[in-house]
Chains A and B, each alone.
Chain A
Amino acid sequence: MRKLLIWLLMAGIAVLLYFTLITAYRVFSSDLPVPVQKEVHSDRYRIVLISQDLDTPFWSEVERGALEVVDQYGVSLEVRGSFGRNERDFLNNLEIAIVSKVDGIIVQGLDTESFIQLTKLRATRYGIPIITIANDVPANESLRRTYVGSDHREAGRMIARQLLSDMGTAGKVILIASDHGEHFQRERLEGILEVLDQQAGMQVELVTSAETREQIARTVNEVLNREPSTRAYIAVADAFAGVIAQEIGKRYRVEDFFIYSFDSSPEMLTLLKQRKIDALLAQSPADMGRESVRLMVEWLEGKHLPLDPKGYFTDIRIVKAEQAQ
């Protein structure tokens, strides 16, 4: 009996010893992973990329392109942005960047009074260079250093030419634009009109709409009611082409229509493949990101003085339905 008790005791000790060692190992094996104060590059240039459309594939590409070259130039890039076109947040981000006294701001141009005020007065007061990207603002008003992105006027021309080559030189074309009337839209419109106005047989009508899907759909329906015979549509603002194709599709065969877009998002590419739209204008967002960072760094380092105020244009090209296959 006593022997048994002793053996039980021993067994208990062995088991407890095992668990104790296991637990002790867990406790003492590794030190707590306190983040060490590694080398900190606080002397790098701090560049901020600000956009209000960070959720779009276009801007993801821009961001990707910019981040690609960050290490190459040895700068730190901070991407700030808001989603879903919140102008207030966008401006706040811009102001935060300004009061944070970053070394350079690469920003999506916004053609509004507050934006211009902010860039003109505040950024200049803090001596921060601003490069607009993708969308430009009028150079003389904003005091931006330069613009990196597509040449929207040329883009308008290219789409117009494509329209002419698809449809012929006579007919009517409806241009649907956003009622924001941003600088890049005006440029596109001007480019389109530049080409189409040369053709005496071309009739052009400009329609504007708010940017919500319902509003666009309503506008398209109004136009369809009023102009049932018109077969050509150009979506000047980015998101419009999808809604236009959808609304037309409810009444007619979309394939019979000529629909053009300046948007190269996956949604548009899908529509293009289905031949619901006829051609779109592809931009080079990654190039914009890369190029803007390069120019900013070169300007900060004094290598590239002065920057061309007209801007540095990135590649644009027409993608047709056949090519999208």
Chain B
Amino acid sequence: MSGIQQKMLLLSGIVLMAMSAIWTVLTYFNQQTQEQYNQILQRYLRMNDVSNLSGQTVALLNDYMLAPDEGKLIAFHRAKERLLQARNGLEDLRTPENDITLTNYMNMIDSLSETADSVILFIKQMNMEQSNKRFDETARISKYLSETTLDLMNIDLNTYDEFYRSMIEKSSALKQLGFFILGLSTLLLLLMAYWLSVSITRPIMKLTHAARELSRGRFDQRIEIESNDEISFLAKTFDRMRININNLISEIQHNAQLESELKENKLRLQESQLRSLQSQINPHFLFNTLDTLSKKAYLEGAEETSDLIASVANLLRYNLKRLDRSVTLREEIDVMMRYLEIQKARFTERLQFEIVVDEALLHIRIPSLTLQPIIENAVIHAVEPMEEGGTIRFRVHGDEERVHVEIADNGAGMSESVIRRILEEHAEVEPEGHSTGIGFSNVVRRLRLFYGEEDIIDIRSEQGQGTTVILRLPRHGGMKHDTQAADRG
């Protein structure tokens, strides 16, 4: 990961490297030129040295001639020694161009020294005429030396002419190069700085944009940043945060929905409790009255009426007592039979009932008041509106896992939408007029809750052919909580 810091370090590193490289090269080059220049300058200095030394030697010789003494002689010899030393150094200055002149030059110095020596000799011999003559010669040689020095310098100037010109040319080129490099590196630096700043600020701008979107409540836009520095890390984290918030919000919405449903259920529960309370207003009074009516009818010889009234009383009692607990299938069938007896008294021949029951299956547990509302539904829809009456077939059979309870009628049938609404437990489809006040949807809900399965009930219907309701009850299972259910009998 190349972080912003690394990018900046890299940039400064590159700049530093480039600058120092340029500096090194230019300095090296300058130094080289300087050295060469110095070398050449040294040549002139050495030549000039020789010329000066010869003049000095002659001057000292002259001094000595005017008034000979040891000190001056020593000074002269010292000067002469230095001249000869300088002469020996001249060998280094030899080039093809100055070959002859340089040899001449060096020989001239020898001549100068020899002639000067002979001057000293003649002075010591007191031969003034000869010594003066020789001194004149010495002075002339010194003059020639100066002239030849100029010649040598001239030759050198010609020899190095090209060198000087190219050096001047190069140094001006070097100066130009310096300016060009300065300009170039300035522009490059500008460009690089721009790129760097863009590479930093562009992701930040994107991030800012994304943050603004987020603050406006749009959580569904992905945040994508294609760089590999801290900003992209920030962006990824930000994106994850967005996703989390998104999830949280949908969760909250879900919860809120659940809560509202719960509230609704609570309300409904309260309502039903109220209703059951209402229906319990004075059940004992009602039962006692019905009992009295049943005895009275029996005493008056109307046995059938007495039975009927007893059935009604039992049914009512069952209804009021057992809503919250499970019972065996057998008990349910008993209650159902009582209800049918009452209805049979009402519809007489119009109501035909067929029942086939596998006795071995009647011990399974089932929520109370599940069969009666279904039968009641069948009676209401398949028998009541039909002038010729209807047939209700009740069958209990089973396989390894399940007990199948079928209630079939031959009425007008139900429409597809009604079936769907019943299975989706829509309470409003309940028609009024049920004796128990418990509708089909209520039965479906209670069955599903009791067994913890959705696929517990099936309704098949064909228009004009009748309706079959099939309960598929598991042999084992069912609610455990029925033991806790309060007996509100």
Chain A interface residues toward B at CB < 8 A: 6, 9-10, 12-13, 16-17, 19-20, 23-24, 26-28, 30, 32-35, 37-42, 46, 76, 78, 92, 95-97, 99-102, 126
Contacts and interface: CB of A to CB of B under 8 A. Distances in A.
B96 to A, nearest CB: 5
Given A95-B144, A101-B110, 9 more contacts: A9-B194, A12-B183, A13-B187, A20-B177, A23-B173, A32-B36, A32-B170, A33-B166, A78-B104
17 contacts: A13-B191, A23-B173, A27-B170, A30-B166, A35-B163, A37-B95, A40-B95, A46-B104, A78-B100, A78-B104, A92-B140, A96-B144, A96-B148, A99-B141, A100-B103, A100-B107, A102-B107
Contacts of B36: 32, 34
A13 B184 contact: yes
Chain B contact residues: over half helix, strand or loop, or mixed?
helix
Contacts of A24: 177
A27 B174 contact: yes
B33 interface: yes
Nearest to A39: B96
A27 B30 CA distance: 11
B187 to A, nearest CB: 5
Contacts of B174: 27
Interface in B107-132: 107-108, 110-112, 115
Contacts of A78: 100-101, 104
Nearest to A77: B100
B184 A99 contact: no
A46 B95 contact: no
Given A96-B144, A101-B110, A37 B104 contact: no
What are the nearest 6 A-B pairs in CB distance? A100-B104, A101-B107, A99-B111, A20-B180, A16-B184, A23-B177
A96 B108 contact: yes
Nearest to A28: B29
Contacts of A33: 162-163, 166
Given A17-B184, A23-B173, A35 B108 contact: no
Of residues B99, B148, B194, which shows the largest number of chain A Cβ atoms within 10 Å of its Cβ?
A: B99
A38 B96 CA distance: 6
B170 to A, nearest CB: 6
A155 B166 CA distance: 56
B16 interface: no
A6 B166 CA distance: 39
A78 B99 CA distance: 11
A121 to B, nearest CB: 10
Contact of A76 (B99, B160, B163, B184): B99
Contacts of B105: 100
B86 to A, nearest CB: 17
A71 to B, nearest CB: 14
B144 A92 contact: yes
Contacts of B421: none
B245 interface: no
Interface string B159-180: 1101100110110011011001
Contact of A35 (B29, B140, B141, B159): B159
Contacts of A26: 169-170, 173
A97 B103 CA distance: 11
A40 B99 contact: yes
B187 A12 contact: yes
B97 interface: yes
Contacts of A46: 100, 103-104
B95 A32 contact: no
B94 interface: yes
Chain A contact residues: over half helix, strand or loop, or mixed?
helix
A28 B180 CA distance: 15
A49 B165 CA distance: 33
Contacts of B95: 35, 37-38, 40
Interface string B81-100: 00000000000001111011
Contacts of A41: 99
Nearest to A95: B140
Contacts of A27: 29, 170, 173-174, 177
B188 interface: yes
A24 B180 CA distance: 10
B181 interface: yes
A137 to B, nearest CB: 22
Contacts of B107: 99-102
Nearest to B105: A100
Contacts of B248: none
B190 interface: yes
A16 B183 contact: yes
A119 B253 CA distance: 132
A16 B176 CA distance: 11
Contact of A32 (B101, B140, B166, B176): B166
A23 B163 contact: no
A301 B188 CA distance: 73
B163 A16 contact: no
Contacts of A92: 140, 144
Given A23-B177, A46-B104, A40 B96 contact: yes
A19 B29 contact: no
Contacts of B100: 46, 76, 78
A34 B162 CA distance: 9
Contact of A19 (B104, B108, B112, B180): B180
A166 B104 CA distance: 52
A287 to B, nearest CB: 24
Contacts of A95: 140, 144
Given A17-B184, A100-B103, A100-B104, A35 B160 contact: yes
Given A27-B170, A33-B162, A35-B160, A9 B183 contact: no
Contacts of A38: 95-96
A2 B101 CA distance: 70
Nearest to A23: B177
Contacts of B191: 6, 9-10, 13
A24 B101 CA distance: 39
Given A10-B191, A76-B99, A102 B184 contact: no
Contacts of B162: 33
Contacts of B184: 13, 16-17, 20
Nearest to A8: B187
B177 A16 contact: no
Nearest to B141: A99
Contacts of B160: 35
Contacts of B29: 27-28
Nearest to B109: A99
B182 to A, nearest CB: 9
B104 A96 contact: yes
Contacts of A9: 187, 190-191, 194
A34 B163 contact: yes
A33 B110 CA distance: 33
Contact of A23 (B94, B159, B180): B180
Given A40-B95, A95-B144, A100-B104, A32 B167 contact: yes
Nearest to A36: B95
Contact of A42 (B103, B110, B112, B180): B103
Nearest to B181: A20
A99 B103 contact: no
Contacts of B108: 96, 99-101
